[in-house]
A = this chain, B = another copy of it.
Amino acid sequence: MKLYKKGNDQSYTLGVFPTIELLKHRPQNVVRVVVHSSIHQNRGYPMIQELCQQYHIPIDVHDRTIEKLSPKNNCYAIGVFKIYTSPLQQAHHVVLEHPMDMGNMGTIMRTMLGFGYKNLAIIKPAVDIFDPKVIRASMGAIFHLNVAYYESFEEYYHAFSDHEFYPFMLKGAKNIHQVHSHQCHSLVFGNESHGLDDTYLNYGQSVFIPHHEEIDSLNLSMALGIALFHFSKAEFEGKEVLREDV
């Protein structure tokens, strides 16, 4: 096992929880699971064993592999999987142009999953979503999502031209509080440092999130979380409790 590099045909999860998420949601892609000899103390291990047995996935005990791939962290399990593609479904989408920050990408995936957005289009060049740092930051949310890369926004736009498009821009024409969508939509966000350029004013309904001038802009994952909260309101506003079990 080698440290992951962009372009590899395999990647891996670091940690028990994301490994369980991988086994539950992408079992067909898992090559093997590597565990540390001290994993028996971990309460997630029975679940890993059960899932590996169900899908005929080998479990190897190999401390040195774990220590090599996760030298600094207290890691008990690694799930090795083949890189896969997952075409987008006809549903609401998030579109990110040139995202570059691995931690942000993980947070974004997790927040998308929370608000029921399971399809993510990424316009290249962009961060590699299968980098173990992204997988870790997503806490396994990546395995619930369909993620597809596009060479340009034009390419994505033509593939889903029946969607409503909402580019989020400081220059956006409409206040998000006044925007209500009732059909399949694509929420489009620019890069962490410079946002979307003016050409995006020509696609669909550009939107701004109002805030005071004392800050230049909200950060990307914050803007995205607020947008998802607003656009998914109809689904969630009648809920009486968050979960039965809390």
Residues of A in contact with B (beta carbons under 8 Å apart): 107, 110-111, 113-116, 139, 141, 144, 170-172, 175, 177-178, 208-215, 218-219, 221-222, 225-226, 229-230, 233, 236-243, 246
Contact = CB atoms under 8 A, between A and B. Distances in A.
A219 B114 CA distance: 11
Contact of A225 (B214, B222, B233): B222
B222 A107 contact: yes
A3 to B, nearest CB: 22
Sort A-B residue pairs by CB-CB distance and give the 7 closest, nearest first. Answer: A177-B237, A114-B211, A210-B236, A210-B239, A208-B242, A170-B246, A114-B215
Given A221-B222, A225-B218, A226-B229, A177 B236 contact: yes
A48 B110 CA distance: 41
Given A170-B242, A229-B209, A229-B229, A214 B113 contact: yes
Contacts of A233: 177
Contacts of A221: 222
A237 B178 CA distance: 7
Nearest to A215: B114
Contacts of A107: 219, 222
Contacts of A241: 208
Nearest to A195: B246
A241 B221 CA distance: 22
Contacts of A239: 175, 210
A221 B103 CA distance: 14
B113 A212 contact: yes
Given A170-B243, A175-B239, 15 more contacts: A110-B215, A113-B215, A114-B212, A114-B215, A141-B215, A170-B242, A170-B246, A177-B237, A178-B237, A208-B242, A210-B236, A210-B237, A218-B225, A222-B225, A229-B229
Contacts of A229: 209, 226, 229-230
Contacts of A236: 175, 177, 210-211
Contact of A172 (B111, B177, B226, B242): B242
Nearest to A214: B113
A234 to B, nearest CB: 10
A201 B113 CA distance: 27
A214 B175 contact: no
